[in-house]
Amino acid sequence: MGGVGKQRVAQLAYSEFQSAMLDEEKRRRKAAKIIAVLEHFRGPLGGLTVGDVGCSAGFIADELAGAGAKHTLGIDIDVPGLRKAADRFGERVAFVCGDGTALPFPDGSIDVLVFNHIYEHVVDPDAVVAEMHRVLSDDGALYLGLGNRLGVMEPHYKLPFLSYLPPALADRYVRASGRADHYYERFRTRRGLRRMLRAFHVWDYTLPVLATPTRFAGSELFPGALGRVARTVLARTPRAVLRLLLPLVPTYLWVATKTPRRPAGAALPQPPERVRPL
């Protein structure tokens, strides 16, 4: 999966070797969660310009358009995925083949951006984040789905502790498992993610989504029986204890803005909290 030897190069045509990108039902469930979080934070998407950075086959972008966005943009370097997306959704989504480190949009021109589980795949995530900061409007919002390096089960290969390892050992681990000859992805810890987003004001929706999945369509984060147990524990655990567990949560759901803003939605049993900047 991706890469040549140990050199990190852009993952072109990602949907051609990662079948999850073409799992329409799962991608649309993710979109429902993303939209619910964004609408809780800033209200309906109607009349806004919305961009999905790393859109691949376009299912999330299509859902964003369906949620009322005035203009919806899908951006990726995945040419086969973009072709599929344009064939199906091109009438209401504008798909652009573009590098996230050089987004082809003017400063401050986009109201809402989505960057969902992409950063670990790009060669220079800090440069992509800087570009998103540039094109986001001053009162805009950036949705971020962020994998955590300290999540025990690596999400792409389902190997425990894979992301904990330095690259050379991670390569040996995936090779020994027979699942790949090279481990491409590079995850960051919560502290590293805070550093990556230091130019933004960030709100953490991870615990609200886990604690109230019906409100946010977020049951996919911990599916099945494990999910039911996890949600019960979350609902009964004091907030101070939950904060201590955050460094080990496998996925963070954050909303970032260029200027200080507070969530506009109704009060929640587990409310979103500010992420302390580094």
Predicted pLDDT at 125: 97
**101 pLDDT exceeds 90?**
yes
**124 pLDDT exceeds 60?**
yes
Q: What is the pTM of this model?
A: 0.91
**4 pLDDT exceeds 50?**
no
Q: How deeply is 182 buried, as exposed, middle or buried, from its count of CB atoms within 10 A (0-12, 13-18, 19+)?
A: middle
Predicted pLDDT at 271: 92
| Model confidence band, residue 3 (pLDDT cutoffs 50, 70, 90) | very low
CATH of 14-149+187-209+248-260, one of 3.40.50.150, 1.10.1580.10, 3.40.50.300, 3.40.50.1240: 3.40.50.150
| Per-residue pLDDT tens digits for 225-260 | 656 666 667 667 777 777 788 888 899 999 999 999
Query: What percentage of the chain exceeds 90 in pLDDT?
Result: 72
| Per-residue pLDDT tens digits for 53-98 | 999 999 999 999 999 999 999 999 999 999 999 999 999 999 999 9
| Model confidence band, residue 6 (pLDDT cutoffs 50, 70, 90) | low
Place of tokens 């929706």: 205
Residue by residue, DSSP assigns the chain as ---BTTB----TTHHHH-GGGG-HHHHHHHHHHHHHHHHHHH---TT-EEEEET-TTSHHHHHHHHTT-SEEEEEES-HHHHHHHHHHHTTT-EEEE--TTS-SS-TT-EEEEEEES-GGGSS-HHHHHHHHHHHEEEEEEEEEEEEBTT-SB-TTT--BTGGGS-HHHHHHHHHHHTS-S------B-HHHHHHHTTTSEEEE-HHHHHH-HHHHT-GGGS-HHHHHHHHHHHHHS-HHHHHHHGGG-SEEEEEEESS-----S---SS--EEPPP-
Q: Structural domain boundaries of the chain?
A: 14-149+187-209+248-260
| Per-residue pLDDT tens digits for 127-149 | 999 999 999 999 999 999 999 99
Q: Give the CA radius of gyration of the chain.
A: 18
